[in-house]
Amino acid sequence: MKKMNFSRAENSCFLFLLVIFQIIFVLILYRGSSSVLFQGHSEIHKSLDYSKSEDVYINLSLFTPAPHNTIQTCTPQSNILVGLLTITFDTLHSERTIIQKNPYVQLGGCYSPPHCLAHYQTAVIVPCGNCEKHLHQFLYYLHPFLQRQQLSYCIYLIHQAGTGPFNRAKLFNVGVHEAMKDNDWDCLLLHNMDLIPENDYNLYVCDKYYPKHLSTAVDKLYRLPYSSVFGGVTALTPDHYMKINGFPNTYWERLDEDDDIAKRIHIAGMKIIQVPLHVGRYKMMGYGQTASPLLNLKRPAELHTSQTWKDDGTNSLVFKLLEKKKKHLYTHIMVDIGATPALPPPSKKKGNNT
């Protein structure tokens, strides 16, 4: 009888240790890596030839409609990805040209692969102040880029009404709010209009566990300004977005809202996945009201995010929707986000009677 009791105790101890070991192993995998899909593609494009580039529309004609009764799920990896793409801004493309070159894009700037069922649904949200000069170039390159990856997607242009100071982060909040009314998106792709991706292996899908920074190598630098940067082009799941209470609404024409967002991510117990530099390559269309905050090379002054993030974000978003209209190549959202809050008068120093 004593031997039987000892055997049971020994077995229980062994099972307990086995469970603990498995938990530790899973945690190591969870904390130390991104999604399997992302890692797999990271290995693939290391072997690509980067000495040449291809047209962004190459081989898209291979994607032809399949009969509805035979359509299957898309392959995990698109078979027409080529790596480096040729991006030039010498030619200004008309809306008619862009529509003709993207025949399967539906009203609202929405697309689903005609030949298979997409694995991922991505909402591309683009803030816009005075952005008309960049719009056609952006649409000319981004639509085929997304189609190459066999994504189901819509492009949302969030247009700030009026001539007041630009508030990029608040426009992102508006875009997420309106996009989630239309669909239960897998991924929220937050995109500066002046940045064009150069590598079609830079997947516009979210990581399951952590927010992802895609524009790690803008052509003004082709390197990260600093390790914690999180701006330009980023990808968050709706869960990630809600965990950080969205983005701050209080940054008017400033460049440090991205650092506020990065700090929110860390406060929420997540880390930022930085796409490898040779993959996260982007060309910038120039300077202007919507110029990328990545040009701010110095780390900004200390932020007070830890005191403000719970009250400044999606739970405090106030705006007036002026228009939500599906156009040929994008969904246009015109919004009044209010005036810049007035700054309090400077406090008088003691002993100053003036």
> Domain-by-domain residue ranges, the chain?
76-286+305-336
Q: Which of 89-93, 166-170, 301-305 has the lowest mean pLDDT?
A: 301-305
* 3-class SS shares of the chain: helix, strand, coil, % to 5: 30, 20, 50
Does residue 259 surpass a pLDDT of 70?
yes
Mean pLDDT score, 9-13: 58
pLDDT given at position 326: 98
Per-residue pLDDT band at 20 (split at 50, 70, 90): low
In contact, 245 and 317? CB cutoff 8 Å? no
Of the two residues 176 and 69, the one the predictor is more confident about is 176
Residues 92, 300: Cα–Cα separation, whole Å:
36
Of the two residues 287 and 206, the one the predictor is more confident about is 206
Q: Is 285 helix (H, G, I), strand (E, B) or coil?
A: coil
pLDDT given at position 269: 95
Residues 24, 3: Cα–Cα separation, whole Å:
32
Does residue 33 surpass a pLDDT of 70?
no
Checking phi first, is residue 234 left (phi over 0); if not, alpha (psi -120 to 50) or beta?
beta
pLDDT given at position 335: 97
Mean pLDDT score, 106-122: 97
Beta bridge pairs of residue 273: 212
Give per-residue pLDDT as tens, 125-158: 999 988 888 999 999 999 999 999 999 999 999 9
**b/e burial code for range 23-47 (CB count within 10 A of at least 16 → b):** eeeeeeeeeeebbebbeebbeebee
Q: What is the DSSP letter of 316?
A: G
**b/e burial code for range 199-228 (CB count within 10 A of at least 16 → b):** bbbbbbbbbebbbbbbbbbbebeeebbeeb
In contact, 226 and 313? CB cutoff 8 Å? no
pLDDT given at position 213: 97
**Polymer length of the chain:** 354
> Which helix (H) or strand (E) segment is 333 a member of?
strand 331-336
Give per-residue pLDDT as tens, 288-313: 444 444 444 444 444 678 888 998 99
> Angle at which helices 257-267 and 168-182 pack, to 10 degrees?
60
CATH code, residues 76-286+305-336: 3.90.550.10
Q: Is 48 helix (H, G, I), strand (E, B) or coil?
A: coil
Phi/psi at 197 (5° precision): -70, 140
HSE-up of residue 313 (Cα within 13 Å, Cβ side)? 17
Residues 180, 188: Cα–Cα separation, whole Å:
9
Does residue 83 surpass a pLDDT of 90?
yes
